Amino acid sequence: MKNKPEHENTETASLSAPPKEAVTLHINGEAKQLEVEPWTSLLDFLRDHLNLTGTKKGCDHGQCGACTILVDGKRINSCLTLAVMKDGSEITTIEGLAKEGELHPVQQAFIDHDAFQCGYCTPGQICSTVGLINEGKAKTLDDIRDLMSGNVCRCGAYTNIVKVVQEALERSQAK
Amino acid sequence: MKNFTYTRANDVANAVDEVTSEKGSKFIAGGTNLLDLMKIQVERPSHLVDITRLALDTIEETAEGGLRLGALVTNADTAYHEEVGKRYPLLSHAILAGATAQLRNMATDGGNLLQRTRCYYFYDTDTPCNKREPGTGCSAIKGYNRDLAILGTSEHCIATHPSDMAVALAALEATVRVTGKNGERIIPLFEFHRLPGDTPNIDTNLKPDEIITAIDLPAKGFADRYTYLKLRDRASYAFALVSVAAALDIDGDTVKEARVALGGVAHKPWRIPEAEALLKGKPATRENFQKVAEAYVQGAKGYGHNDFKIELAKRAIVRALLQAKEMEARS
């Protein structure tokens, strides 16, 4: 982006910086109370304020899905929401999926099917898969491909990712 | 992102007061488009009014036999809502043809109408753009314009409106309920968005003090014969090159009523009631559908890279109407 002059009153604005907002988020079952600047994205809040760096920043524009987390059980792009707006929400990140030392079945399936290469998109892919299962709308392989299109894998591990999602879906339906 | 102050509105009146209290204020709900644009400083609000806690998040029956979609219902909850799916499958299909599961879980119905163009030059702050910086010129007209408009353009702007949902809503003759300082008013969906003219910086007829509270669907949902046909460069998570929301009410082989709205071709969902009326009382044949298609692209103008859209739009209209007739709904 070009270095055009900032908004004229940038200096004044930063001198009279707006007050921080108090936020309580229930993250992976634990209540976290913090004060944040209103422009802090939920993604930056998780990574920079809580050191939950499992959630990845890819494009920071909602295009790649690396930042996918679950808010009140639904998958969203954490880069496109503000931490302050989610006050009171239940949030699950990749760090919250394993229980009592046991990987979440979707995590285990990603390992079993070798469904990643570099691994950068994987936390988002896994959270998205858990969200997809919660939604219960995918019936066919094409549905899986369409409903996972918000998670980009630049290594191209899609073939195995689709296998994982299919297996995870079948397992959830067998229960 | 430029710094801003933040407040959370607790009712509609409070939201309207807050947004008018300071110049440069904006509402935020799903945030999927606004925050994206704020990060690249195309949008630079000084104050954000969070409306996500307003009680506008339900889908209810209207006295007229239709459905009222609260402005804050998410796109996903709307598309997957049982009554919407049953009575307005065209709308469900259109919503699910757009964005990704994550975005649809965040984006609201009101916000969907207010999303801004994805014209590359609008996003690129290094280039002139009349929509972003009025008076600087349009980089798209002589630039790369493959995705851009062929209908209703002006010498100042050839941007398209990116919504799929709005195209279905235009075909269904939905109305938008808004509240401002002077109370409530109702805007037909088709009159909600504007043509660019010489003020392409203004996307809609919503006034600065107004908030969308709901979208009303009339009783007639064309649930028996409809199609949302979206043509794009990949099968998922891409904006339309051309999309068609088509709906037919047929008695035997005779058309009683037809609806056709186009997406991806103009600054607003494109609908020509006079062209739809060409089918009234006529047999639902390919030849008659072709006449409608010709009427829809009357006056269409290509800008080089997007010339192909004129022929594509015609073929898409015919195919969508044939699919609706045969009831092969797909997106």
Backbone angles phi, psi at A63, to 5 degrees: -100, -25
DSSP A8-73: TTHHHHHHTPPPPEEEEEEETTEEEEEEE-TT-BHHHIIIIIS--TTS--SSSSSSS-TTEEEETT
Contacts of B76 in chain A (CB under 8 A): 74, 135
Among candidate residues B31, B50, B69, the one where a domain is terminated: B50
Q: Is A21 on the interface with B (CB under 8 A)?
A: yes
Please tell me which residue of chain B has the smallest CA distance to A60: B36
Cα distances (angstroms) measured from residue B189 to each of B32, B98, B172, B174, B229: 22, 19, 9, 6, 20
Same domain, B203 and B313: yes
- CB contacts under 8 A, B 233-252 vs A, are 235-237
Q: What is the dihedral of CA A38, A44, A49, A50, to 10 degrees?
A: 130
Q: Which secondary-structure segment (H or E) carries B257? A: strand B254-263
Confidence of residue A19 (pLDDT cuts 50, 70, 90): confident
Radius of gyration over alpha carbons of chain B, in Å?
19
Q: Would you write out chain B's pLDDT as a tens digit for each of its 331 residues?
A: 999 999 999 999 999 999 999 999 999 999 999 999 999 999 999 999 999 999 999 999 999 999 999 999 999 999 999 999 999 999 999 999 999 999 999 999 999 999 999 999 999 999 999 999 999 999 999 999 999 999 999 999 999 999 999 999 999 999 999 999 999 999 999 999 999 999 999 999 999 999 999 999 999 999 999 999 999 999 999 999 999 999 999 998 999 999 999 999 999 999 999 999 999 999 999 999 999 999 999 999 999 999 999 999 999 999 999 999 998 444 4
Query: Are B246 and B321 in contact, with CB atoms under 8 Å apart?
Result: yes
Q: Tokens standing for B317? A: 């209209």
Are residues B35 and A14, on separate chains, in Cβ contact within 8 Å?
no
CATH number, domain of B95, equals 3.30.465.10
Same domain (yes/no): B126, B205: yes
At residue B328, the pLDDT reads 46
Do the Cβ atoms of B105 and A18 come within 8 Å?
no
Task: Indicate whether B99 and B175 sit together in one domain.
Answer: yes
Where would I find the H helices in chain B?
12-21, 34-39, 75-79, 82-87, 89-96, 101-106, 109-114, 120-123, 165-171, 189-192, 273-276, 286-296, 308-326
* Residue the block writes with tokens 């007229």: B64
Is A80 close to B125, i.e. CB distance below 8 A? no
In this structure, are B21 and B61 located in the same domain? no
Regarding whether B42 and B62 lie in a shared domain, the answer is no
Do B27 and B83 fall into the same domain? Answer: no
Set of chain B residues whose Cβ sits within 8 Å of the Cβ of A74: 76, 105
pTM of the model: 0.95
* B220 in the same domain as B168: yes
Structure tokens at B157: 């702007």
In total, how many domains does chain B have? Answer: 2
Question: Is the CB of residue A167 less than 8 Å away from at least one CB of chain B?
Answer: no
What pLDDT was estimated at residue A173? 84
Contact B254, B284 (CB under 8 A): yes
- Are residues B11 and B84 part of one domain? no
Q: Are residues B233 and B115 in the same domain?
A: yes
Task: Find the domain containing B180 and state its range.
Answer: 57-331
Structure tokens at A14: 């930063």
Subunit contact A137:B41, Cβ cutoff 8 A? no
- Nearest CB among A17, A80, A132 relative to B106 is that of A80
Measure Cα distances from B214 to A85, B28, B60, B269 in Å: 21, 16, 10, 19
Chain A positions in Cβ-Cβ contact with residue B36 (cut-off 8 Å):
61-62, 80
A29: left (phi over 0), alpha (psi -120 to 50) or beta: left
Distance of CA A113 to the CA centre of its chain: 22
Q: Which one of B46, B75, B100 makes the best mutation probe of the A interface by having the most chain A beta carbons within 10 Å?
A: B100
Q: Which of residues 125-154 of A touch B (CB under 8 A)?
A: 128, 131-132, 135, 137, 145-150
Residues B233 and B304 in one domain: yes
* Residue B19, domain CATH: 3.30.43.10
Asked if residue B158 and residue B110 are part of one domain, the reply reads yes
Q: ipTM value, please give it.
A: 0.95
Shared domain check, B92 and B45: no
The residue among B91, B90, B103 whose CA lies nearest residue B29 is: B103
A23 CA to centre of own chain: 19
Q: Say whether pLDDT at A6 is over 80.
A: no
Residue of chain A with shortest Cα separation from B9:
A85
The domains of chain A, with CATH numbers, are: 19-96 (3.10.20.30), 105-174 (1.10.150.120)
